[in-house]
Structure 1
Amino acid sequence: MTLSIKDLKEQNLILLDTVSGSQAYGLSTPESDTDTRGVFILPQDLYFGFSYIEQVNSDRNDHTYYELGKYLKLLAKNNPSSIELLFAPQETVIYRHPLMEQIKPEHILSRLCRDSFAGYAMSQVKRAKGLNKKIFNPVSDVMPRPIECCHIVEGDRTVATEQWLSQHDFLAERCGLTALPHVRDGYALFYADDYEQGATCLNNWGRITGVRVKLNA
């Protein structure tokens, strides 16, 4: 069995109903719709049955309601969304059942609140920085070839692999790799010809780098 928001309203199952989103914070535009969030209680046949429903959403997820037990679990974790509902300003409250008055903020708030809200804030900062990075340093639509991500270390400098192969008149198809022990993402690069057997390389974050060494044939 499923529940819809229409069912919640028709069966008087909603304990808390609030306006959320841009309408709640005075950031709405003429094109903005009205988002709502709240808390509901399951009817007895579902509560004592095997069809537990912890959340009811609209098709567009602009209306979300948590089952009372689920809501209390979120509060115990000081989840930001649940805390926001707990402190919903009176002007945003469409309906609040007297039962909800039994949930006191002083019984809920803990040091977890600091971690959850600070963690949420930092995640938004990281998202914003990532967005700016994409705006000012757009990623090319053309994926680089694997060899273009590879560099060879010679002395105190690195050389693009294709340049290194050209300088030594080597062919990429004659190169082979084997993992280096005790080196994270490290590889030895071997070249098959009559004069030398390989070169030692290191790899960092998928980039092949290394110091070419000449081995006796």
Structure 2
Amino acid sequence: MKRIEVEQRSILIGLAGSHGYGLNRPDSDLDFRGVFIAPKRYYLGFDNIEQKDTGWDEPGIFPFIDGNKDTVIYELRKILQLLAGANPNVLELLWLNKYPVLTEVGQYLIKHRNLFLTKKVKHTYSGYAFAQIKKMETHRKWLLNPPQKKPLPADFGIEAEEPLSKDELNTFLEYLYILIRGRIEFLEEAEQLYKLLTADIDFKGVLKQYTLPTETLEYTENLTHGRKDFIRLLQKSQSYQIALREWKAYLSWQENRNPVRAEMEKQSGYDLKHGMHCIRLLRSGLEILQQGEVIVDRRIAGDVDDLKAILQGKYSYEQVMQMAEDLVAQMDAVYETSTLPHKPDLEQINQLCIELVEMQGWS
């Protein structure tokens, strides 16, 4: 869809990111997030759209997003799915302080925002925080012990043959995932395991991200009827491709680092921004479980100075990690007593979607 079509059907656009958190500096980018309702052909025809995240240099009606690369406007059905899944990045959109665009339909959506608060926030907010920790750990490793050379197949015992390519690995792992899923799909006693592997976690992603453990190779060989030498090559190729991916990420990190941020990282020994977002996410998740409310603006939450102190390097890596560990323990305890429902009422959310579309109309 053209930018102007999306803007004409936008029901809300909010100022998110550092400005929403109250952590912005004079040079901070403007991050706009919004919601629009697609026209009739996208609901009743074959056309499909989930979000608009490019093309802001096209002619439009909202000059504040002209040329802004940090703008994403989600189609209603897409954002309702993300909200129902307690996605931290979109939940906060309904609790912002500033909306440059807010229609009557958008206000109706905000009025029903509590529909999306469930105990799932414990898992999503801690999961997003853990992703920040992983980035911190990776960058810290690069800072303290940077890789010295590009990995070679021979480093992983691949001498007389070519390593499997990324596409070849992914094709085989897709096949392995289907076989594993098929083995348990219709076994009543494996119902919970099937749900875990197909809905609760991205098991296919796990297969592709990590090297197959040695103790699983014989099972993989038998399940796929693969040759032993091929399965061993598969494992070695996985290790090689993961190392190669990390090497490329390291080079990109070196090339694209903000000089000021790089100097702060060097002095503190970890990525301060990832550390701050880790703590912010965990505190936000804890607040939702305790209070049934999303507090986006950290000035209102009362910890904005503390978060800025992390950004300024006033906390060591060990202190930030201890803070994260303590917050996770608090979330575990509060989870048991929280009055939030365990899961969202999808029927109510579906009805809300219908009402919003009818309010917006097709023209």
Q: TM-score, normalised by structure 2?
A: 0.37
Ranges in structure 1 where 5+ consecutive residues have no aligned partner: 150-181, 187-204, 208-217
After TM superposition, list the pairs within 5 Å mapping 1:136-155 onto structure 2: 136-143=144-151, 146=154
Shift of 1:144: 6.3
Q: CA deviation at 1:148?
A: 8.9
Please list every run of 5 or more consecutive structure 2 residues that lacks an aligned counterpart in the other structure.
56-67, 158-213, 219-234, 240-363
- What per-residue deviation string (whole Å, max 9, x for no partner) do you get for residues 93-119 of structure 1? 112222234342332111111111111
Question: Which has a greater percent of strand?
Answer: 1
Matching residue of 1:4: 2
Q: 1-side partners of 2:215 and 2:73: how far apart?
A: 52
Counterpart for residue 126 of structure 2: 118
Correspondence 1:32 to 2:40: no
Secondary structure of the structure 1 residue equivalent to 2:127: helix
Deviation at 1:40, TM superposition (A): 0.1
1:47/1:132 Cα in 2 relative to 1: closer, same or farther (>3 Å)?
same
Q: Are 2:104 and 1:98 aligned?
A: yes
Alignment partners' CA distance in 1, 2:215 and 2:117: 47
Shift of 1:44: 2.1
SS of corresponding position for 1:111: coil
1:47 aligns with 2:43: yes
2:73 is matched by which residue type in structure 1?
Y
**Distance in 1 (alpha carbons) for counterparts of 2:99 and 2:106:** 12
Distance change >3 Å, CA 17–CA 48, structure 1 → 2: same
C-alpha distance in structure 1 between counterparts of 2:46 and 2:94, whole Å:
29
Q: In 2, distance between residues paired with 1:30 and 1:38?
A: 23
Deviation (angstroms), 1:87: 1.6
Structure 2 counterpart SS, 1:102: helix
Query: How far is 1:64 from its partner?
Result: 0.3
1:73-132: CA deviation from partner (whole Å, max 9, x where unpaired) = 11111111221112222xx21122222343423321111111111110111112111111
Higher helix proportion (structure 1 or 2): 2
- The reply to whether residue 87 of structure 1 matches residue 95 of structure 2 is yes
- Report SS of the residue matched to 1:122: helix
Count the aligned residue pairs.
152
Task: List, as ranges, runs of 4+ consecutive aligned residues in structure 1 with deviation greater than 6 Å.
Answer: 182-186
**Structural RMSD (CA):** 3.0
Percent identity between matched residues is 30
1:183 offset after TM fit, Å?
A: 7.0
**Separation in structure 1 between the aligned mates of residue 73 and residue 116 of structure 2, nearest angstrom:** 20
Q: Deviations over 1:113-158 (max 9, x none)?
A: 1111111011111211111111111011254683698xxxxxxxxx
The residue type paired with residue 105 of structure 2 is L
| 1:66 CA drift (Å) | 0.6
139, 142, 152: which is aligned to 1:131?
139
